[in-house]
Amino acid sequence: MHDLNYFREHLDLFAEMAKNRGATLDLDAFRTLDKERRELITATEQLKAQRNKASDEIARLPIASKQPTNASRTWMLRSGNCSLLFPTCRTPAFP
């Protein structure tokens, strides 16, 4: 497995090496996919932070009043855990 940071920093070198071997690299496609990948990682980390915040809010509630907060409701609905909010709700089964 190659180090993506090294590849990002030396794209011209890799393009030259490929050219010397008679191959071509689509560097624009790599840049686009790499940018999308990094954006998705950032979005995932933000969602994890929201989930953790909602979990912390629930943990701080007194035991008798452990009702879901707006943040935890949003997370539960987005994650498919609607049965925690609505006992009769069934999460759809995906193939």
pLDDT tens over the chain, length 95 residues: 678 889 889 988 988 999 999 998 888 998 999 999 999 999 999 999 999 998 888 888 776 555 656 666 665 666 655 555 555 555 555 55
Domain boundaries, the chain: 4-84
Compute the distance between CA of residue 14 and CA of residue 58 in angstroms, rounded to an integer: 50
C-alpha 70/C-alpha 77 separation (Å) is 11
Half-sphere exposure of 60 (CA within 13 A, CB side): 8
